[in-house]
Structure 1
Amino acid sequence: MTDTTHVEKGHPQGLYWLFAAEMWERFCYYGMRALLLLYLVQSLAMGDNMGFAVYGAYTALVYVMPVIGGRIADGILGSRLAVLFGGILMAIGEFIIVGGTEMLLFWGMAVIVVGNGLFKPNISTMVGKLYPDGDPRKDSGFTIFYIGINLGALLATTVCAEVGNIYGARYGFALAGFGMLLGILIFQLGSRHYAHVSAPPSPDTLHRPKFGPLSPFTAVVVGCLALIPVLYFLLRNTDIAGYVLIAITILVVGSLILRGIKDGKVQLDKMFGFIILMIFNVVFWACFEQ
């Protein structure tokens, strides 16, 4: 069902459902982060240096995983399933952390990293697809969407942090998890408004065996679950995580340049422009996270 309501005047109704879903996802993510460093240093007694190293590795992996999550959505799942699966994983990760042990914290963070990689890039893509090419409302639509991001972050850093300070970090993590569950519910309730822009690229073959007995959908689920222990290892070994992140950066930049060379000079110039913007973006977020 296409979302035709309020197309001529105002914005597609799907925007407001995605606004609310993203707001609660950001509440989940930033609520957990508001408590994470103090939890590492004080509750788990890791020490400042180790705490900052784990926090930095976690944050970096969170920003890298959307590269993979976007490819999964574009090639296999479609945006809606990727966002739904990612949100479920993020909620599960929060509730794993509530267990209160160091081991469960790292497992929970690993699950959240995978979930964020599926959720974060694809819900933004869905917002863009609500509008036809050249639609002048798109810019203001993204402005509204980003207000939701900021509201979620603001609520998280006040409510979750306060709950964590008064009752203990585990309660703050649990609250973040319930926020994610609310975001998933809102996303599902509004799905009819963006079903036309978020379907899998090959829905007829999504659940048919393709990789031996595995369907593309099952293969994605298995692959994501297999990635969790890898991320657990990297979070536990932050020095190795740094080298892996450098390798991924080189791989991504190299693939962009090769794609530009293959598609011609105009596309190559666009790729170089994108790489420059990406560098500025990395510098901005690196400064922002200090």
Structure 2
Amino acid sequence: MANTLRPAHQRELFGHPVGLYVLFFTEMWERFSYYGMRALLTLYMTAQTLENDPQSGLGWTSTEALALYGWYTMLVYVMGIPGGFIADRIIGQKKAVTIGAILLTCGHGVLAIDAVWAYYTGLGLVILGVGMLKPNISTMVGGLYKPNDIRRDKGFSIFYVGINLGSFIASLSVGLVAAVYGWHSGFGLAGIGMLMGLLVYLYGQRFLTHVGNEPTVEEKSSDISLSTLFGQLLKSPLQLGIVVVLLALSLYAGFTFEGPDHWGYGALFIVLSLITGMMMMIYKNLNGQVEKDRYVVLLLSLLMVMVFWGCFEQMGGLMNLYAQEKTNRMFLGWEVPAAWFQGANAGFIILLAVAIANFWARRKLKGKEASSLFKMGVGIIIMGIGFVYMVFASLQYESEGSSAMYWLVLAYLFHTIGELCLSPVSLSFFTKLAPARYMALMMGVYWAATGLGNKVAGIIGESSVKAGELKVFGGLFVFAVLFGVLVLLLLKPLKRLTHGAEDQETVLAREATEEVEMADR
């Protein structure tokens, strides 16, 4: 009764703000639309072009399809930088999520139209929509809880389940609809899912009145702007010289790179050069050696994020095509749609997320190594081991002409375990190390690193056309395992550079456990 008498934004359900569940279902449907379309993307581009046939695709080669897949998945994340900036500085997260949901709904609606112009237009709208929605809805989840609220981590875990529940449902339903009724029906179903998310979000606004509002004048004035950083860069001859050289090399590479998308690589290299300049100026402006040491570890963690996603995102590209073209998908006389395998990752996350989180929590309470850097290194190794099963699949294909489905399932299982060790941890670790006054900018860089990893995944996938899947999968296995081992070997010096950023968490966790044990007695 007392709960219903509270203002709507203070009401709770199962021990958490009702607003959490509004955002849970909004994000669930957004991920339904995104992953539903991602499951079809490379398959649609490589399908044969047929007259008046719902199964007609674009007829592209695998190289062309994987190249566009890389650009698309990179831009989806990179657009989180302007999306987050617009929200932080101008309209607030709440309006940004609304605009993003509308753009996504329109984008998927346009993709349902059977025309090439509609395909490119729809992809563009989806990129803009995800850029506005994804970084800002996560920020709103954090805003539901007061500082030091012990429910915050569990709230994000509940939210994370919503992400993967949407992905799991989409991979099955959208893939089936596309297999039976055609590609554009699948794209349309993804759009209906996003429309559901938009309606849920608009209905639940009364539970979100205290989060995601427009920034105040004081908040705007306290932020470090990009113009300030680049203004300082112009006054630093050494750093400016480095950036100028990088820009010159970027322009040269853009004009000399072979391939139809050379302009894209030129633009990418220019952006990376400017980000490099920004990162150098941030380091120069840090206060004290502790901040600078932590910043170095932060940059190394960005490299780990790029390596992980560069390997992991073969799932939606090369491995998706492998499931379509080289896997025996017959089960009890029925051919399993290739897009269904994209649901394995989300399904395993739903099944294993709590168990793996509890494993690391118990390990930390026992005083064993369970730092974020350790988890991330182990996650990269486990993900790399998953490619062993794709090596076995490739060997079976070479000897028998097709490979069994269980190789893909086992690969996805290990990739998922690796993701659960790294993905939820890396973002949290990043927020612990990033200087507070540069937090907004650094979060944008984090998502840019994720996007760059996705682009690397597309480039690696393209190389399989000449090198072959066996060499690519084997190379990914060796590289990921060696990289993860290197992180573990450098663990002690890297932890020293963090200057105890995570030590207080361990103390609080042990104290909480001791209190529970005393109460049980």
Deviation at 1:260, TM superposition (A): 3.8
1:107 and 2:113 aligned: no
Deviation at 1:2, TM superposition (A): 6.4
Q: Which amino acid aligns with 1:73?
A: A
- Structure 2 length-normalised TM: 0.47
* Pairs within 5 Å for 1:1-290: 3-6=9-12, 10-42=15-47, 43-202=57-216, 238-265=261-288, 266-290=290-314
Deviation at 1:237, TM superposition (A): 5.5
Deviation at 1:172, TM superposition (A): 0.4
Deviation at 1:65, TM superposition (A): 0.7
> Could you give the per-residue CA deviations for residues 100-158 of structure 1, whole angstroms, max 9, x where no partner exists?
12221111111111111000000000001111111111111000000000101111111
In structure 2, what is the Cα distance between the partners aligned to 1:135 and 1:250? 39
Identity of aligned residues (%): 41
Q: Which amino acid aligns with 2:17?
A: P
> Could you give the per-residue CA deviations for residues 41-67 of structure 1, whole angstroms, max 9, x where no partner exists?
110111111111111110111111101
Contact 1:253 1:275 in 2 (8 A): no
SS in 1 for 2:19: helix
SS in 2 for 1:285: helix
Q: Where does residue 365 of structure 2 map in the other structure?
A: none
Q: Which amino acid aligns with 2:305?
A: N
Q: Which structure 1 residue ranges, 5 or more long, are not aligned?
A: 204-235
In structure 2, what is the Cα distance between the partners aligned to 1:128 and 1:87? 20
Deviation at 1:283, TM superposition (A): 1.6
Deviation at 1:287, TM superposition (A): 1.3
SS in 1 for 2:12: coil
SS in 2 for 1:100: coil
CA 1:252/1:171 → structure 2, altered by over 3 Å: closer, same or farther?
same
Q: CA RMSD in A?
A: 2.0
When structure 1 is superposed on structure 2, of 259-268 and 38-47 the one drifting more is 259-268
Larger radius of gyration: 2
Deviation at 1:79, TM superposition (A): 0.4
Contact 1:261 1:267 in 2 (8 A): no
Q: Where does residue 208 of structure 1 map in the other structure?
A: none
- Structure 1 length-normalised TM: 0.83
In structure 2, what is the Cα distance between the partners aligned to 1:116 and 1:98? 18
In structure 2, what is the Cα distance between the partners aligned to 1:18 and 1:189? 11
SS in 1 for 2:310: helix
Q: Where does residue 233 of structure 1 map in the other structure?
A: none
CA 1:199/1:154 → structure 2, altered by over 3 Å: closer, same or farther?
same
Deviation at 1:202, TM superposition (A): 4.3
Q: Which structure 2 residue ranges, 5 or more long, are not aligned?
A: 1-6, 48-56, 218-258, 315-521
In structure 1, what is the Cα distance between the partners aligned to 2:146 and 2:280? 29
CA 1:142/1:237 → structure 2, altered by over 3 Å: closer, same or farther?
farther
Q: Which amino acid aligns with 1:281?
A: V
CA 1:58/1:270 → structure 2, altered by over 3 Å: closer, same or farther?
same
SS in 2 for 1:3: helix
Q: Where does residue 222 of structure 1 map in the other structure?
A: none
